[in-house]
C-alpha cells in the first residue's frame, strides 16, 4: 500500500469536472434554490408561528394606564419603560390603553389587567404590565411595613446565577441534536452520491477509459473532494439564506424575538474556534464516510447493488447519530472524553463537547489525529484494491471481503 | 520507437488467463491480437496499460517500461461507454484534459474529429440538421434547416456513441493506439468512416495494437499477428509469412458444366459448390495445375480459375480448431 505522488495524477481534473457537473445538474440547482428559499423564509415564519410577529402594526408602549385601586393599600403603579402615563381612577376607562384594577378580599389582594382592544397596543405588553402591577403591590406592602426606598432598591438588586442543572443539559442537548442532524445530513448525501457515482461509472463502462488516464485513487478522491465542496457550497447557501432571513424578519417584524429564541440554543456556544473545530471535524468525518462509501460502491457491478452497498455507511452514520443524541442527554465528563476519541462517533460528539466546555482542545486534537488516521487507512485500502475492484464484474463484494483483499488474507 | 511485450503472465487463483505472451513492434504499423472469446486478449491489453497487475513479464516502450503517464496512449476499450446524463462536449473536453490536452486545444480537436466522424450535429448547438419540411410530399426537394440542442449520450444511437468513444481515443493525438474491437456493432457506412481514419493513423506512422473478431479488417490493416486461445499463444508472426507458409491451397473454380468427376480424379477436396462454382481445397500448385490440365483437355469452358493463400479467417479457424482437437 503506497501513496506516491503519481497516485494523485489527474485528481484536480476529476475534482473540477465532478463539481462542475454537480453544479450544472438541474436537480441539484433546483435543490439549492429550494434550500435557499426555505432558509430565507424560515425566520419570518418562525417569528410568526412563535408569536413574535403579533406586534405587527401594534404599538410596543402604552400611552396611558387607567388604574383603579379599591384596596386600603396605597399603591404607586410603577410603569417605567412600559407606559408613559398612569391615570388614577379619575378619567374615563374607555379612553385609555390599559386598565389595572386592584381589589381586596379576605385580606388578599387581587389584580386585574386588561388592554383596551381598539388602541392598537401590542398584545404581549399585558404580560409585562401584570408583572409591574405585582411588583408595585409588593413594594407598597413593604413600604407599609416601614421599608425605606433605599432598602427596597437593595432588596431588588438583580442577581445573576448560571444554572448548570436540568436546563443547562437541555441546552447542550439541542446543540448536539442540531449538529448531529447536520453531520448526518451532509454525510448521508455525500455517501449516497459517491456510491451512485462510482457504480454509474462501472455500469456505463467508463472505467477503462478513465483508468488509462487517471489513477483510480485520484478518481475516487477527486469525486469525494468535489462532493465535499458541493456540500460546503450548499451549507454556505443555507447560512446566507438564514442570515438574509434574519434581516428579512427584522425588516418585516422589527425585532424578531421568535427567531432569536429559536437560535438561542446556539448563542454563545459557537465562537470562531468552536466553528473551526466543527468544520474540521465535519470535513474529516465526511471524508472517512465517503471513502467507506466509495469502497462499498466499487464492489458493486449493477445499480441494484447500491442499496446493499449503502448498508455499512448508513449503519455507521445512524449509529453515530443515535449515540450522539443519547450523549446529548447524559452529561458525563469521562464519557464525553472517551466518545470524542472513538472514530465515526467523534465527528458528532467532539465539536459539541468542545463548544460546551466539556472537553479541551487537546482532546479535539487527538480526535482529529484518530479521524485522520482512519481516513488514511481507508485511503491506503483504496490504493490497494480500488483498481482491481473497478474492473471486477460479478456479485457484490462485501466490505469484509474488500478488507481481506487489502490485507492479503487467503481466500480473498 | 519500439514496443516489446515479454512473457506476460496472469493468473486468477489457480486459473491461468494469460500465459507467457510475448511480441514485438519494431516499427510503426498495426499488430493484431486475435483469439476466441476469453482467450486473454483484453486481459493482456489491461496488463500492458497497467490497469491490471502482472504476475510476470514486462512491457517496454522505447527502452523503458510502458508508463501511461509518460507515453501518449489512445485506448478504445472493449467495454466502453459514456456518462449517460452529462453533456457530450463536457465529457470530451474532460477526457482530453485527463490526457493533458488544454481546453482550447481540446475544443479545436473535437471540432475536427466531430466533422471527420460525422457527429457534429450531436455536439454543437449551431450544427444545422437537414430535416424534411412539413408537407414535403407536395413541395418535394425543399428542406428547412433547424438547429437542435446538443444531445446527451443516452440520446445517441449505439453506433454514434461508438464514434464518440473512438474520438476519445484519438483526442490526445497518441503515439500508441490500442483499439479493442473498434468496429463491433457498426454499420457498413460507419465501419468505412472508422477504417478510413485507421488507414490515416497508420500512414502517419503510429503504433497500433488491434484486437478484433473481424478478420477482414485485421487482414487489411495488420502486418503481424498473435492468435491466442485459452490464454496461450497458438500462432504468431508476420501475416504474409504465415500465409506463405500455408501455400496456395484455396482454389476457386467457376465453369459451365459439372466437373465433379475431374475434381475427384485430381484428389482436391470440395469445400462448397453452387451452380458450377466450386471452392476447393488443394494441396498446392501442382494439384491445382493437374486439375486445370484435365479441364483443358476435356474442353471444359473455364470462367474463373483462382488459386490463393488461405484467408486469416481460415487460418484462425483451422489453428484454434487444431488446438481444440488436440485437447
Give B82's contacts in chain A (Cβ within 8 Å).
204, 206
Contacts of A6 in chain B (CB under 8 A): 69
Decide if A209 and B77 are in contact by the 8 Å CB cutoff. Answer: yes
Is any Cβ of chain B less than 8 angstroms from the Cβ of A12? no
**Cβ contacts of B158 on chain A, cutoff 8 Å:** none
Is B154 within 8 Å of chain A by CB?
Answer: no
**pLDDT over 50 at A265, yes or no:** no
pLDDT at A62: 80
Least confident piece of the model among A17-21, A152-156, A195-199, B76-80: A152-156
**Residues β-bridged to residue B58:** B6
Interchain proximity A209–B80, CB inside 8 Å: yes
Q: Which residues of B touch A213 (CB under 8 A)?
A: 68, 95, 98-99
| Residue A287 pLDDT > 90 | yes
What are the phi and psi torsion angles at A174 (to 5°)? -70, -40
Q: Which of A411, A361, A379 is nearest to A294 (CA)?
A: A379
User: Between chains, do A20 and B90 touch, taking CB under 8 Å as contact?
Assistant: yes
Contact B80 A17 (CB under 8 A): no
How confident is the model over B203-262, as pLDDT tens digits? 999 999 999 888 888 888 999 999 999 999 999 999 999 998 888 999 999 999 999 999
Give domain B3-71+175-243's CATH superfamily: P-loop containing nucleotide triphosphate hydrolases (3.40.50.300)
Record the cell numbers describing residue B271, joined without a space. 469445400
Instruction: Give A-chain residues touching B182 at CB under 8 angstroms.
Output: none
How far apart are alpha carbons A359 and A340 in whole angstroms?
A: 8
Q: What is the pLDDT of residue A133?
A: 87
Closest CA relative to residue B77, chosen from A392, A391, A299: A391
Name the CA radius of gyration of chain B, rounded: 25
Q: Write down the domain spans for chain B.
A: 3-71+175-243, 81-131+143-168, 248-308
- Third-level CATH fold of A62-121+124-155: D-Maltodextrin-Binding Protein; domain 2 (3.40.190)
Q: In Å, how far is A316's CA from the nearest CA of chain B?
A: 30
- Tell me whether strands B302-308 and B250-255 are parallel, antiparallel or unpaired: antiparallel
Q: Give the containing element (helix H, strand E) for A330.
A: none
Residues of A in contact with B68 (CB under 8 A): 212-213
Q: A150 or A30: which carries more pLDDT confidence?
A: A30
pLDDT 10s digits, A360-406: 899 999 999 999 999 999 999 998 888 889 888 889 999 999 999 88
Residue B11 CA to residue B23 CA, distance in Å, equals: 19
pLDDT digits (tens, 9 = 90+) for A332-366: 678 888 888 999 999 999 998 888 888 889 999 99
The one-character DSSP state at A101 is E
B221 and B183 Cβ atoms separated by less than 8 Å? no
Q: Which residues of A touch B94 (CB under 8 A)?
A: 13, 17
| Cβ-proximal residues to A328 (8 Å cutoff; 6+ apart), any chain | A172, A173, A174, A175, A176, A177, A180, A352
How does residue A255 score in pLDDT terms, banded at 50, 70 and 90?
Answer: low
- Nearest alpha-carbon partner for B220 in B167, B182, B259: B182
Distance CA A76, CA A140 (A): 7
Instruction: Specify whether the CB–CB gap between B194 and B182 falls below 8 A.
Output: yes
Q: Name the residue in chain A with its Cα closest to that of B48.
A: A212
Question: Which of B46, B90, B99 is closest, CB to CB, to A213?
Answer: B99
- A387·B77 Cβ contact <8 A: no
What residues have CB less than 8 Å from A12, skipping those under 6 apart? A222
Question: From CA A280, how far away is CA A378, in angstroms rounded?
Answer: 18
Share of chain A above pLDDT 90, in %: 30
To the nearest whole angstrom, how far is the Cα of A406 from the nearest Cα of chain B? 14
**Residue B179 forms contact with A (CB below 8 Å):** no
CATH of region B248-308, choose from 3.40.50.10860, 2.60.200.20, 3.30.390.30, 3.30.70.1150: 3.30.70.1150
Cell numbers that stand for A310 in this block: 449503502
For A219-238, letters b (16+ CB in 10 Å) and e give bbbbbbbbbbbbbeebbebb
Q: For residue B208, what are the contacts with CB-CB under 8 A and spacing of at least 6?
A: B29, B30, B31, B176, B177, B178, B179, B198, B201, B202, B221
Q: Which residue has the cell 406586534?
A: A55
Start-to-end CA distance of chain B, whole Å, equals: 40
**Are A21 and B77 within 8 A, CB to CB?**
no
Rg (C-alpha) for chain A, rounded Å, is 31
Alpha-carbon span B171 to B88, nearest angstrom = 14
Q: How many angstroms separate the CA of residue A25 from the nearest CA in chain B?
A: 9
Q: Are A227 and A22 in contact (CB under 8 A)?
A: yes
Q: Does B142 touch chain A (CB under 8 A)?
A: no
With residue A85 as reference, give the H or E element that holds it. strand A83-88
Q: Which of A193, A209, A211, A392 to mutate to test the interface with B (most CBs of B within 10 A)?
A: A209
CA-to-CA distance for B309 and B248, rounded, in angstroms? Answer: 4
**Nearest CA-CA distance, residue A332 and chain B, Å:** 51
Among candidates A9, A10, A387 on the partner chain, residue whose Cβ is nearest the Cβ of B51:
A387
Kindly tell me if the per-residue pLDDT of B48 is higher than 90: yes
Tens-digit pLDDT profile for residues A93-112: 557 788 888 898 888 888 88
Category of A146 on φ-ψ map: left (φ > 0), alpha (ψ -120 to 50) or beta: left
* Cβ-based contacts of B95 with chain A (< 8 Å): 209, 213
* B11 in contact with chain A, both atoms CB, cutoff 8 A: no
For chain A, the helix, strand and coil percentages under 3-state DSSP, each to the nearest 5: 65, 10, 25
CA distance A290 to chain B (A): 21
φ, ψ of residue B34 to 5 degrees: the values are: -115, 160
**A327 and A335 Cβ atoms separated by less than 8 Å:** yes
Place of cell 485500502: A381
Q: What is the mean pLDDT of residues B277-288?
A: 93
CA distance A379 to chain B (A): 18
CA distance B214 to chain A (A): 22
**Rounded Cα gap, residues A290 and A296, in angstroms:** 10
Map out the domains of chain A as residue ranges: 5-51+166-406, 62-121+124-155
Rounded-to-integer distance, Cα A237 and Cα A245, Å: 12
pLDDT of A118 higher than 90: no
Q: What is the pLDDT of residues A142-169, one digit of tens each?
A: 888 888 888 888 877 777 665 555 555 5
Q: In A, residues 120-139, which contact B (CB 8 Å cutoff)?
A: none
pLDDT band at A412 (very low <50, low <70, confident <90, very high): very low
Q: Could you give the C-alpha distances from B39 to B44, B178, B313, in angstroms and in order?
A: 10, 17, 16
Query: How much is the mean pLDDT over chain A?
Result: 83
Grid cell 497497467 in the structure block, residue: B50
Q: Which of B46, B48, B50, B81 to mutate to test the interface with A (most CBs of A within 10 A)?
A: B81
ipTM for the assembly: 0.79
Q: Which three cell numbers stand for residue B94?
A: 474532460
Are A396 and A300 a contacting pair, CB within 8 Å?
Answer: yes
Q: What is the mean pLDDT of chain B?
A: 88
How far away is chain B from the Cα of A236, in angstroms, using its nearest Cα?
25
DSSP secondary structure letter of residue A107 = T
Return the pLDDT at B137.
Answer: 43
Partner A contacted by B38 (CB < 8 A) = no
Instruction: Report the residue of chain A nearest B161, measured CA to CA.
Output: A204
SS (H, E, C) chain B: CCEEEEEEEEEECCEEEEEEEEEEECCCEEEEEEECCCCCHHHHHHHHCCCCCCCEEEEEECCEECCCCCCCEEEECCCCCCCCCCEHHHHHHHHHHHCCCCHHHHHHHHHHHHHHCCCHHHHCCCCEEEEECCCCCCCCCCEEEEECCCCEHHHCCHHHHHHHHHHHHHCCCCCEEEEECCCCCCCHHHHHHHHHHHHHHHHCCCEEEEECCCHHHHHHHCCEEEEEECCEEEEEEEHHHHHHHHCCCEEEEEECCCCHHHHHHHCCEEEEEECCEEEEECCCHHHHHHHHHHHHHCCCCEEEEEEECCCHHHHHHHHHHHHHHHC
Q: A97 near A64, Cβ under 8 Å?
A: yes
Residue A207: list chain B partners with CB under 8 A.
Answer: 79
Contact list, A212 vs chain B (CB under 8 Å): 49, 51, 68, 73, 75, 77
The total of other beta-carbon atoms located within 10 Å of residue B156's CB is 18
Closest residue in B to A216 (Cα–Cα):
B51
Closest CA relative to residue A403, chosen from A301, A313, A295, A327: A295
Q: Nearest-CA neighbor of B8 among B48, B35, B39?
A: B48
Beta strands B29-35 and B207-211, pairing class: parallel
User: Which residue from A minimizes the CA distance to B83?
Assistant: A204
pLDDT > 50? residue B131? no
Q: Searching chain A, which residue's CA lies closest to the CA of residue B43?
A: A391
Most B CBs within 10 A among A213, A215, A218, hence the mutation to make, goes to: A213
Closest CA to B72 of B179, B207, B164: B207
The residue of chain B with its CA nearest to that of A214 is B98
Sheet holding B302-308, edge to edge: B269-274, B277-281, B250-255, B302-308
Q: Is the pLDDT of residue B22 over 60?
A: yes
Going across the sheet that includes B64-65, the strands are B15-25, B3-12, B56-61, B64-65
Q: What digits encode the pLDDT tens for the residues A168-223?
A: 556 677 788 888 998 998 999 899 999 999 998 888 889 888 998 888 889 999 99
Amino acid at each position: 500500500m503506497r501513496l506516491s505522488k503519481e497516485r494523485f495524477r489527474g485528481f484536480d481534473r476529476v475534482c473540477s469536472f465532478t463539481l462542475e457537473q454537480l453544479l450544472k445538474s438541474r436537480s441539484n440547482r433546483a435543490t439549492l434554490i429550494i434550500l435557499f428559499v426555505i432558509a430565507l423564509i424560515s425566520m419570518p415564519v418562525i417569528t410568526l408561528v412563535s408569536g413574535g410577529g403579533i406586534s405587527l402594526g401594534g404599538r410596543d408602549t402604552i400611552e396611558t394606564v387607567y388604574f383603579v385601586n379599591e384596596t386600603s393599600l396605597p399603591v404607586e403603579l410603577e410603569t417605567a419603560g412600559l407606559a408613559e402615563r398612569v391615570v388614577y381612577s379619575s378619567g374615563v376607562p374607555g379612553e385609555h390603553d390599559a386598565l389595572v384594577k386592584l381589589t381586596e378580599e379576605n385580606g388578599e389582594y387581587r389584580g386585574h389587567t386588561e388592554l383596551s382592544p381598539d388602541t392598537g397596543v401590542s398584545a404581549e405588553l399585558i404580560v409585562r404590565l401584570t408583572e409591574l402591577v405585582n411588583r408595585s403591590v409588593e413594594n407598597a406592602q413593604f413600604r407599609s411595613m416601614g421599608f425605606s426606598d433605599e432598602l427596597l432598591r437593595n432588596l431588588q438588586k438583580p442577581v445573576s446565577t448560571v444554572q448548570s442543572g436540568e436546563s443547562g443539559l437541555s441546552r447542550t442537548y439541542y446543540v448536539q441534536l442540531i449538529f448531529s442532524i447536520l453531520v448526518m445530513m451532509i454525510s448521508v448525501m455525500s455517501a449516497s452520491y459517491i456510491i451512485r457515482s462510482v457504480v454509474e461509472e462501472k455500469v456505463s463502462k467508463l472505467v477503462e477509459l478513465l483508468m488509462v488516464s487517471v489513477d483510480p485513487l485520484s478518481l475516487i478522491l477527486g469525486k469525494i473532494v468535489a462532493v465535499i465542496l458541493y456540500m460546503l457550497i450548499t451549507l454556505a447557501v443555507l447560512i446566507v439564506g438564514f442570515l438574509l432571513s434574519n434581516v428579512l424578519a427584522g425588516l418585516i417584524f422589527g425585532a424578531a424575538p421568535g427567531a432569536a429564541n429559536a437560535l438561542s440554543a446556539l448563542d454563545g456556544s459557537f465562537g470562531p474556534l468552536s466553528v473551526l473545530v466543527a468544520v474540521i471535524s465535519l470535513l474529516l468525518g465526511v471524508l472517512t464516510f465517503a471513502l467507506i462509501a466509495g469502497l462499498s460502491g466499487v464492489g458493486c457491478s449493477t445499480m441494484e447493488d447500491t442499496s446493499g452497498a449503502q448498508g455499512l455507511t448508513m449503519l455507521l452514520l445512524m449509529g453515530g447519530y443515535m449515540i450522539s443524541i443519547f450523549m446529548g442527554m447524559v452529561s458525563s465528563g469521562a464519557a464525553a472524553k472517551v466518545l470524542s476519541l472513538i472514530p465515526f462517533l467523534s465527528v458528532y460528539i467532539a465539536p459539541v463537547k468542545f463548544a460546551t466546555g466539556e472537553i479541551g482542545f487537546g482532546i479535539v486534537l487527538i480526535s482529529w489525529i484518530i479521524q485522520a488516521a482512519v481516513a488514511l487507512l481507508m485511503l491506503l485500502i483504496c490504493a490497494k484494491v480500488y483498481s482491481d475492484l473497478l474492473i471486477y464484474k460479478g456479485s457484490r463484494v462485501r466490505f469484509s471481503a474488500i478488507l481481506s483483499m487489502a490485507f492479503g488474507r487467503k481466500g480473498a | 520507437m519500439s514496443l516489446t511485450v515479454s512473457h506476460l503472465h496472469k493468473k486468477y487463483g489457480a486459473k491461468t488467463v494469460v500465459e507467457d505472451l510475448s511480441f514485438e513492434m519494431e516499427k510503426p504499423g498495426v499488430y493484431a491480437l486475435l483469439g476466441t472469446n476469453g482467450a486473454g486478449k483484453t486481459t493482456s491489453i489491461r496488463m500492458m496499460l497497467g490497469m491490471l497487475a502482472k504476475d510476470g513479464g514486462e512491457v517496454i516502450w522505447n527502452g523503458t517500461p510502458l508508463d501511461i503517464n509518460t507515453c501518449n496512449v489512445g485506448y478504445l476499450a472493449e467495454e466502453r461507454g459514456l456518462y449517460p446524463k452529462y453533456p457530450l462536449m463536457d465529457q470530451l473536453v474532460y477526457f482530453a484534459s485527463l490526457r493533458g490536452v488544454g481546453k482550447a486545444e481540446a475544443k479545436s480537436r473535437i471540432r475536427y474529429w466531430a466533422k471527420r466522424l460525422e457527429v457534429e450535429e450531436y455536439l454543437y448547438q449551431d450544427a444545422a440538421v437537414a430535416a424534411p419540411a412539413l408537407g414535403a410530399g407536395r413541395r418535394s426537394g425543399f428542406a428547412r434547416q433547424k438547429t437542435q440542442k446538443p444531445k446527451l449520450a443516452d440520446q445517441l444511437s449505439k453506433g454514434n456513441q461508438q464514434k464518440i468513444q473512438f474520438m476519445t481515443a484519438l483526442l490526445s493525438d497518441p503515439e500508441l493506439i490500442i483499439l479493442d474491437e473498434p468496429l463491433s456493432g457498426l454499420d457498413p457506412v460507419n465501419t468505412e468512416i472508422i477504417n478510413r481514419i485507421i488507414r490515416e493513423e497508420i500512414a502517419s506512422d503510429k503504433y497500433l495494437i488491434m484486437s478484433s473478431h473481424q478478420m477482414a479488417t485485421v487482414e487489411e490493416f495488420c502486418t503481424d499477428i498473435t492468435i491466442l486461445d485459452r490464454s496461450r499463444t497458438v500462432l504468431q508472426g508476420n501475416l504474409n509469412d504465415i500465409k506463405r507458409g500455408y501455400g496456395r491451397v484455396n482454389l476457386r473454380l467457376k465453369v459451365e458444366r459439372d466437373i465433379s468427376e475431374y475434381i475427384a480424379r485430381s484428389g482436391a477436396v470440395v469445400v462448397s459448390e453452387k451452380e458450377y462454382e466450386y471452392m476447393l481445397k488443394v494441396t498446392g500448385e501442382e494439384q491445382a495445375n493437374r486439375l486445370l490440365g484435365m479441364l483443358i483437355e476435356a474442353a471444359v469452358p473455364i470462367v474463373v480459375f483462382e488459386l490463393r493463400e488461405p484467408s486469416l479467417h481460415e487460418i484462425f479457424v483451422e489453428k484454434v480448431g487444431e488446438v481444440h482437437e488436440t485437447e
